[in-house]
Amino acid sequence: MTKWVKLLIFIIICQLAGVIGSIFTTPQITGWYANLQKPSFAPPNWLFGPVWTILFTLMGISLYWIWGMRLERNFRRAISFFGIQLVLNILWNFFFFGLQNPLYGLIEIILLWITIAITIFEFYKLSKKAGLILLPYIIWVSIATALNYYVLILNV
């Protein structure tokens, strides 16, 4: 299998997490979410799709770089945390949008943030570029965490 095909497969795997999450999110953007009080820093709705597409692509590239290090000692640990954070990413959409529960969403996104941080650390130990390329992801999830918090507080 060529390098480009492998890279594409890893990007598709990560994009699938986004597609699964969007099953819960998309119907609520113009419904439940539209009617919530949000903080002034809330990004416009049209920005979420492009940003997540870029972030899932960066995750796929990072995963591809790490996959080439399968024989390294900490590979399994790094890949395990990557898989956990990918599942937690999907689950946040379920809790926040699917269940329409900002409290469960907040608890879950904090776990997601911690797991992303560990993933970045573990990836960085194996490949600096694989860890660093995930920094926009944790920055965006930090913004999403603050947004989730304020949605909870403003809508109690």
The tens place of each residue's pLDDT in the chain, 156 residues long, gives 799 999 999 999 999 999 999 999 999 999 999 999 999 999 999 999 999 999 999 999 999 999 998 888 999 999 999 999 999 999 999 999 999 999 999 999 999 999 999 999 999 999 999 999 999 999 999 999 999 999 999 998
What is the reported pLDDT for 72?
A: 86
> Whole-prediction pTM value?
0.95
129-135 — which CB contacts under 8 Å span 24+ positions?
Answer: 129/65, 130/62, 130/63, 130/65, 130/66, 131/62, 133/58, 133/61, 133/62, 133/65, 134/58, 134/59, 134/62
pLDDT of residue 10: 98
The pLDDT, as a whole number, for residue 24 is 96
Closest CA to 88 of 46, 48, 117, 123: 117
In this prediction, residue 122 carries a pLDDT of 97
Identity of the residue numbered 146: A
Q: What per-residue confidence (pLDDT) applies to 15?
A: 98
The highest-level CATH class for domain 3-154 is mainly alpha
Q: In this predicted structure, what is the pLDDT of residue 156?
A: 86
Give the closest residue to 150 by CA, choosing from 109, 91, 89.
Answer: 109
The per-residue pLDDT for 130 is 98
Q: How many angstroms from the chain centroid is the CA of residue 84?
A: 11
Angstrom CA distances, 2 to 5, 8, 15, 100, stand at 5, 10, 20, 43
Helix axes 3-29, 75-93, angle to 10 degrees: 30
